[in-house]
Amino acid sequence: MCAYNSETNWISRPTAFTLTPLPKLPMSTTPRPVHTSVLPAETLAWLDPQPGQTWVDCTVGSGGHTRLLAERVAPTGRVLGLDQDPAMLELARQQCAELPIVWIHANFDQLSDILIRHGLAQVDGVFADLGFCSDQLACAERGFSFRDDGPLDMRLDPTQATTAAELVNTLSEAALADVFWEYGEERYSRRVARRIVERRRAKPFTTTQELAELVRQCVPRSGTIDPATRVFQALRIAVNDELGCLERLLAVLPRVVRPGGKVGIISFHSLEDRRVKQAFRTPGVWQPLTPKPVQATAEEIQRNPRARSAKLRVAQRWTDV
Ligand SMILES: C[S@@+](CC[C@H](N)C(=O)[O-])C[C@H]1O[C@@H](n2cnc3c(N)ncnc32)[C@H](O)[C@@H]1O
């Protein structure tokens, strides 16, 4: 079942199981994506999708990897393209007309239900390129950037309830320090948490610059890295429950990938990569195809600095035959 309707410009929303008009978001008018896909050639070489196959791209983003997968499986195969950000889905859709892609606004931690809704028990392969896109970072209204002023939001799915401002203004000092330490490895986590709690008594945080300025006053600068980097990363991971979503995806993959099928996951920090590495080492379930994570060449990093921390791991679903 192809839920995308090109006449009405609607995209399936499997959580509601109805066709939902896309919300009007600032990015949906952006003509071209700013995001550059990481490790495109390596991803395609390791996953090696074949004509007629069915693949899932869990993280469509600006559609770069989705397009590569869809071109390979076309014309008889298809790609189910998921993203929890409807603005990214719309942007990607504009880049991938004519390709056999079903666009689905959903969190990838719902993958099993989504496949059932689309009449599928198993697929030939699943791909995920974790985190967020340059387009989301570049849109100040989304609140991901510590450089531009915007609302302290950071939700990848704008229909979700909890924002970064809510966490910053309501979590206890100890809980804030834990978030900054566990998800950002911020050495000054306690100091930042204490100062946040002191400051919010007078005035709750509403903008990215209010928070970034406070962090810059607490954390000494080291090299060229902005002192607010780790706190912003930690908050984004917490707001979107990024590690919880990854764990739920990893848990469901053995059921939804057919024997002999493949999974490829690109991660951007050790908290993610550790989880992927451990899951792919489960004997009798996965056979890791990449003994070491695949990383970008110096040339790609020069072209696309975001690729410097990307790690691709690929595994094949175990088969006895
Ligand atoms: C790094 S970008 C993907 C870039 C994409 N591969 C490309 O080539 O343009 C990550 C995307 O995944 C989405 N995303 C992150 N976590 C998600 C989740 N749990 N479920 C669905 N989408 C998610 C983000 O909204 C973002 O658009």
User: What does the pLDDT look like over 289-306, one tens digit per residue?
Assistant: 998 999 999 999 999 999
Query: Which stretch, 18-32, 106-120, 214-228, has highest mean pLDDT?
Result: 106-120
Q: Which atom of ligand 1 is nearest to the CA of 133?
A: 2
CA 216 to chain centre: 27
Q: Which atom of ligand 1 is nearest to the CA of 62?
A: 9
Out of 1.10.150.170, 3.40.50.9100, 3.30.1490.20, 3.40.50.720, the CATH code matching 161-239 is 1.10.150.170
Is the overall model pTM greater than 0.85, yes or no?
yes
Res 18: pLDDT: 31
Say if residue 21's pLDDT is above 70. no
How much is the average pLDDT of 39-53?
98
In a 3-state reduction of DSSP, which class is residue 155?
coil
Res 320: pLDDT: 63
pLDDT grade for 321, boundaries at 50, 70 and 90:
low
Say if residue 277's pLDDT is above 50. yes
266 CA to middle of ligand 1, Å? Answer: 11
Question: What percent of the chain is predicted at pLDDT more than 90?
Answer: 86
- Residues in Cβ contact with 205 at an 8 Å cutoff, skipping those fewer than 6 apart: 152, 165, 168, 169, 196, 199, 211
Residue of 93, 104, 137, 156 to test ligand 1 pocket, by largest number of atoms within 8 Å of CB: 156
Tens digits of residue pLDDT in 165-180: 999 999 999 999 999 9
Q: Cα(67)–Cα(226) distance, rounded to whole angstroms?
A: 34
Say if residue 312's pLDDT is above 70. yes
Say if residue 19's pLDDT is above 90. no
How much is the average pLDDT of 175-201?
97
Ordered by start, the domain boundaries in the chain are: 11-135+242-317, 161-239
In a 3-state reduction of DSSP, which class is residue 171?
coil
How much is the average pLDDT of 10-31?
41
Angle, helices 64-73 vs 40-47, to 10°: value is 40
Res 319: pLDDT: 85
Residue of 32, 47, 60 to test ligand 1 pocket, by largest number of atoms within 8 Å of CB: 60
Helices (H), the chain: 40-47, 64-73, 86-95, 111-117, 134-138, 164-170, 173-184, 189-202, 208-218, 229-239, 242-256, 270-280, 298-303
* Residue ID of nearest Cα to ligand 1 atom 8: 64
CATH class of 11-135+242-317: alpha beta
Q: Cα(129)–Cα(268) distance, rounded to whole angstroms?
A: 9
Q: Which atom of ligand 1 is nearest to the CA of 65?
A: 8
Say if residue 84's pLDDT is above 50. yes
5 CA to middle of ligand 1, Å? Answer: 22
107 CA to middle of ligand 1, Å? Answer: 9
Ligand 1 site residues (CB inside 6 A) read 35, 37, 58-59, 61-65, 82-85, 88, 107-109, 129, 131-133, 156, 245
Say if residue 76's pLDDT is above 80. yes
Q: Which atom of ligand 1 is nearest to the CA of 38?
A: 8
Res 179: pLDDT: 98
pLDDT grade for 14, boundaries at 50, 70 and 90:
very low
